[in-house]
Structure 1
Amino acid sequence: MSNLSDEKLPTDSELQKQDSDILRDPSVISNDIDDEGRELPSEEEMKTLRHVSGNIPLRCWLVAIVELAERFSYYGLSAPFQNYMQNTPEDSPKGILGLNQQGATALSYFFQFWCYVTPIFGGWLADTYLGKFNTIFVFCIVYIIGIFILFITSIPAITSKTTATGGFIAAIIIIGFATGGVKSNVSPLIADQVPKVKPHIKVLKSGERVIVDPHITIQNVFMFFYLMINVGSLSVIATTQLEHHVGFWAAYLLPFCFFFIALAALALGRNQYIKTPVSDKIVNKTFKCAWIGLRNGFNLEAAKPSNNPEKNYPWSDKFVEEVRRAIYGCKVFVFYPIYWVTYGQMTNNFISQAGQMELHGLPNDILQAINSMSIIVFIPICERFVYPFIRRFTPFKAITKIFFGFMFATGAMVYAAVLQHYIYQAGPCYNFPKACAPEFKTVPNHIHVAIQAPAYFLIAMSEIFASVTGLEYAYTKAPVSMKSFITSLFLVTNAFGSALGIALSSTSEDPKMVWTYTGLATACFIAGWIFWFCFKHYNYKEDEFNRLEYATEEEYKKPTLDGLQPIPSANSYKGLA
């Protein structure tokens, strides 16, 4: 028998190490396992372990090609619009319709307004009747018809100013209608291709335990979706050069031909895409559910079947919580019109501003490509380096990113105002570029157009933070069966921004432009800070919002000490109104 006094007992530090090793041993962790054998994290692990993205399926990229082709056509044909509308064939740069800067800016904002009102119809049609895939296919055909009308009525040999004006108006109405049907459905369709799995544990080759977070996967999907948008938008380089050297008809022929790639991508992937079933009148049910809550003092508990079994409501308690979450998400969109009116400067007043500067042989509307190239460069940098670095120290939640988007947009307007001041300070025409005397009609003020580049860069950074995150927020907060419709509600904020732009278009003339940009900078700055103070507490509820996305009807209720409680509980939303 051994002498106990001769045995070496473990020290306190060794005992602590053994306990730590036991906790780290996957074989003894008592976490739940999902149906696929994946280890689900505990609440403590959700807070302490690093969150990473899952794999993005290849079918996502096939949907992205559809968006690339559509955006190639949209930006390619709209880039020459300001010159086409503002100037005459005798002006420099040349145009067709001769509507002057005020008229062209107002009609440009109308086109944007129309493009972003029509997604409401497209989202409703997809979620209620046709489904996302079929809706996109139908509206792509309508889109091609609109571009063809624009192309035909811009050919000098067979058109006149009257015909060009009529054709242009008909084309932008058809194209705007088709844009709504495509835009409201492509981003939800690409996100639908990501498998709906719960956050789960993964052990890296280094031995580090991380959480594969589906929300971060969705975030990356929308980042690369937006990347594809801007790869497509590089078409402005080609179409503005065609406009400058050949004519507007050539600039519109290229998008017409390229759009057929979208139809090809849809046809090739028709049997590979994950297609969410169409829900019977889901939009009507949602509004009815919200109306019941409104009639009961903004209390959606009154719409739950479990609280009112005698009512025979055609939805579940989980659906009511999804509607509640969607309402909170839509509140975030309220301040976006201010952002969009500043963003819209890039497609109208920035182009006119460049036309007042020395172009050195470049088209005045080609600098829009700087915006696209900045996004293409910085989206991978943000996804690979910036966001993971920030997440090592603190969660970088949606509301924070949107706030930074507003601040970058403010910076763009401040820069544009300062630049416009220097344009007015330069000769020969000072406050009235190209308009002080007939002999100076084609002579810009003496300032180099390259100085405008930072304004486009700042707009690009604002898009990465505000626009990408807005699309992501719309998708993740929408009920599963109405992703397209809630996405369309986000897109319609762009229409409201365009309406504001139309109201402000009377200020788009010399020598008022410094104050126009200054006013927009002030409005965007104030809106950004009000947005932050109104919604910063949503950051703390982000995980609970997202948790509902992956709960099944069976998992929606979980046992507690007091009985059954929804996941997430209704109490967790208190104070978010």
Structure 2
Amino acid sequence: MPVEEAECPQSFSKGESEERCGKVLGENERWATEADMATLRHVADRIPAAAFFVVATEFCERFTYYGITGPFQNYIQNGYRVPGSRPGAIGGGQHLATGLSNFFQFWCYVTPILGAIVADQWLGKFKTILVFSLVYIVGDLILTLTSIPPAIRAGAALPGLATAMVTIGLATGGVKSSVSPMVAEQYTCTRPFVRRLKSGREVLVDRELTMQSVFNWFYWAINVGALSAIATTELEANVDFWPAFLLPTLMFVVCLSVFWMGRRRYVITQPTGSVVVRAYRVLAAGVRNSRAARAQGRVVLDDDGEPVHWLSYAKPSLCPDGAQLGWSDRFVDELRVALRSCKIFLCYPVFWLCYGQMSNNMISQSGQMNTGRVPNDIMQNIDPLCIIVLIPLFDKVVYPAFRRCGMELRPVVRITCGFLIAALAMAYAAIVQHLIYSTGPYYKTAGDDGHGFNDISAAIQVPGYVLLAVAEIFASVTGLEYAYKQAPESMRSIVMSLFLFTNAGGSVLAFCFNGIAANPHLVENFSIVAGLMGAFTVLFYLCFRHYDARDAREASRSVELERAEKPAPSEAA
């Protein structure tokens, strides 16, 4: 049926209905009832065009990021044009290469917190992405110019790399903190509705499944962009490093252009002030007031007769000077929800420790094997290639198949599967390393100081990369989705940046392994990482297995409350 004002709950005008419901119903659509929620097949909605502009922007940014980082390990580890050695520039060895790689990853995932503060306090997500994109281009130019042959011979490669790493890492944080919540904000429908298909069958369009689909395709675009490392490592091996860095630099100009082209289509949220300082004050007030209440015997009980959460004591309604606090009861409740959702991120640093092996130690591992005519650092691209194939398969086949069987793979189950598979990938890498060390002619010194490779094919690495790709789909994509869905609207940028910050935690852990991140200790390196990931997989499931059922109950309760507050016309009649 055509769109009518009365289709949205209550008697709103068309403009008001769009604002309050996030959608105006079209032909063959109606608001869902409780019976629809229980009986109809749940499906994801169409992704809005504006979201694809943001996805394209992320593709270009990741093309740049992975394009420049792809050659980093060889660029740092090996000397410049050493006969019989892999391509290189700085000649710092594997310890320095792995250490700088871990630093860069750490820095890139610390700065999103700064980016979130800038976006929330001053610029908003759209302008934050624009400003930090310009900084990104400056960093790319520094890296490119200091990688030309005269600069390398003059000793400018290492200081130029360090300067570029700091600049690009800062820019990455500014972009990453805003782009993922911005892509999700382009889908504005907040209430489930029913759509009648051409076949006459009705399906329920579910926001949660739509968000899952949005982040699946967002992550898919990231990994298409990551394939840039194929081009840059080939350029590194067959031409030189400066064209390998120039290509991603030019792509980032395209990135900025694509993002600007979509400016008239975006749903743009204005900055409302950073929540970081306010959150700190609320936490301090909650600790202080809850201690005082317990000491004075003024414990407050909730509706079930249980003591309220300690953070509730920061609510103005429970404080004598509440009017002067500068925040509301609602803000305290939202902060509590945000903190609860962030608990699930605590085990992620170990996952990122596993994932980080792919961009440093596994590259060095392939350098110890026969790679034929392809560069050793091209092997890491097996991971994004697998993800490009598997994400559509999971989104359109695997997850719907589980739902049709009545076995919804909710976030905690998916994340647990991802952690377990990451542990298996590291165990497999340890086995591969043992085989390398057991094969001549160089055994445990292969790849060191201009030594060649052992007589074992690098193709044996492929299953390890496939396992890491599956682990990413289960753990990383789900983490992004969970960070967005569970965060209150006012805190989405900061919660998303805290999820990204767990990647920095993985880099900190990697520093602890730097002493064994080289020959002849790589078997121990991979084995310990595998065991650590396995232990944290068990710990994660034991601590958070009840979250799936709780989140499902709260989602159902939220829909019921929304229906009670905004009844559909048929119900009101």
Same fold (TM over 0.5): yes
Match of 2:86 in 1: 93
1:354-373 equivalences in 2 (<5 Å): 354-373=366-385
Residue type at the aligned position of 2:203: V
- Describe the SS at the equivalent of 1:259: helix
Distance 2:521 2:85 in 1: 22
Match of 1:262 in 2: 255
**Which deviates more, 205-214 or 58-67?**
205-214
CA shift, 1:309, in A, is 8.5
Cα deviation digits, residues 202-249 of structure 1 (max 9, x gap): 344455443211111111100000000011111011000000000010
Match of 1:288 in 2: 281
Cα deviation digits, residues 152-210 of structure 1 (max 9, x gap): 00000344353111111000010001000011111011001011321233344455443
Residue type at the aligned position of 1:299: W
CA shift, 1:358, in A, is 0.6
Match of 1:428 in 2: 441
Match of 1:63 in 2: 54
Match of 2:420 in 1: 407
**Which deviates more, 541-550 or 528-537?**
541-550
CA shift, 1:277, in A, is 1.9
Size of the alignment, in residue pairs? 523
Instruction: State percent identity of aligned pairs.
Output: 45
CA shift, 1:42, in A, is 5.0
Matched, 1:164 2:175: no
Change over 3 Å in CA distance of 1:265–1:457 after alignment to 2 = same
1:269-284 equivalences in 2 (<5 Å): 269-284=262-277
Distance 1:286 1:145 in 2: 34
Match of 1:503 in 2: 512
Residue type at the aligned position of 1:114: W
Match of 2:66 in 1: 75
CA shift, 1:481, in A, is 2.0
Distance 2:117 2:205 in 1: 33
**Which deviates more, 180-189 or 277-286?**
277-286
CA shift, 1:292, in A, is 3.2
Change over 3 Å in CA distance of 1:274–1:135 after alignment to 2 = same
Match of 1:229 in 2: 222
Q: Is the 8 A contact 2:117 2:274 kept in 1?
A: no
Residue type at the aligned position of 1:86: Q
Match of 1:299 in 2: 310
Match of 2:241 in 1: 248
- Describe the SS at the equivalent of 1:236: helix
Change over 3 Å in CA distance of 1:484–1:348 after alignment to 2 = same
Q: Is the 8 A contact 1:119 1:181 kept in 2?
A: yes
Matched, 1:487 2:518: no
Match of 2:338 in 1: 326
CA shift, 1:445, in A, is 0.3
Change over 3 Å in CA distance of 1:315–1:214 after alignment to 2 = farther
CA shift, 1:286, in A, is 2.9
Cα deviation digits, residues 245-271 of structure 1 (max 9, x gap): 000101000001111111111211122
Q: Is the 8 A contact 2:338 2:491 kept in 1?
A: no
Cα deviation digits, residues 414-443 of structure 1 (max 9, x gap): 1111111111111101222145xx8xx442
Cα RMSD for the two superposed structures = 2.4
Q: Is the 8 A contact 1:370 1:453 kept in 2?
A: yes
Task: Extract unaligned runs of 5+ from structure 2.
Answer: 1-6, 11-16, 18-23, 291-308, 567-573
Distance 2:250 2:529 in 1: 38
Q: Is the 8 A contact 2:315 2:322 kept in 1?
A: no
Change over 3 Å in CA distance of 1:47–1:334 after alignment to 2 = farther
Matched, 1:444 2:457: no
Match of 1:179 in 2: 172
Task: Extract unaligned runs of 5+ from structure 1.
Answer: 1-30, 560-577
Q: Is the 8 A contact 2:289 2:314 kept in 1?
A: no
- Describe the SS at the equivalent of 1:362: coil
Q: Is the 8 A contact 1:397 1:542 kept in 2?
A: no
Distance 1:62 1:550 in 2: 30
Q: Is the 8 A contact 1:476 1:546 kept in 2?
A: no
Cα deviation digits, residues 454-498 of structure 1 (max 9, x gap): 111111111111111111111111121221111110001000100
Distance 1:118 1:274 in 2: 25
Distance 2:34 2:410 in 1: 18
Distance 2:565 2:315 in 1: 17
CA shift, 1:509, in A, is 1.7
- Find 2:388's aligned residue among 364, 369, 376: 376
Q: Is the 8 A contact 2:347 2:536 kept in 1?
A: yes
CA shift, 1:124, in A, is 1.1
Q: Is the 8 A contact 1:33 1:39 kept in 2?
A: no
- Find 1:462's aligned residue among 471, 492, 502: 471
Q: Is the 8 A contact 1:41 1:199 kept in 2?
A: yes
CA shift, 1:48, in A, is 4.7
Match of 2:550 in 1: 541
Distance 2:101 2:315 in 1: 45
Q: Is the 8 A contact 1:412 1:456 kept in 2?
A: yes
Matched, 1:530 2:530: no
Q: Is the 8 A contact 2:89 2:152 kept in 1?
A: no
Distance 1:551 1:138 in 2: 42
Change over 3 Å in CA distance of 1:70–1:150 after alignment to 2 = same
CA shift, 1:51, in A, is 1.8
CA shift, 1:94, in A, is 1.9
Change over 3 Å in CA distance of 1:434–1:472 after alignment to 2 = closer
Q: Is the 8 A contact 2:146 2:157 kept in 1?
A: yes
Bigger Rg, structure 1 or 2: 1
Match of 1:348 in 2: 360
Q: Is the 8 A contact 1:70 1:259 kept in 2?
A: yes
Change over 3 Å in CA distance of 1:548–1:168 after alignment to 2 = farther
Distance 1:306 1:212 in 2: 39
- Describe the SS at the equivalent of 1:211: strand
Distance 1:197 1:171 in 2: 42
Matched, 1:515 2:560: no
- Describe the SS at the equivalent of 1:365: helix
Matched, 1:195 2:188: yes
Change over 3 Å in CA distance of 1:424–1:105 after alignment to 2 = same
Distance 1:232 1:457 in 2: 18
Distance 2:407 2:39 in 1: 10
- Describe the SS at the equivalent of 1:202: strand
Residue type at the aligned position of 2:460: I
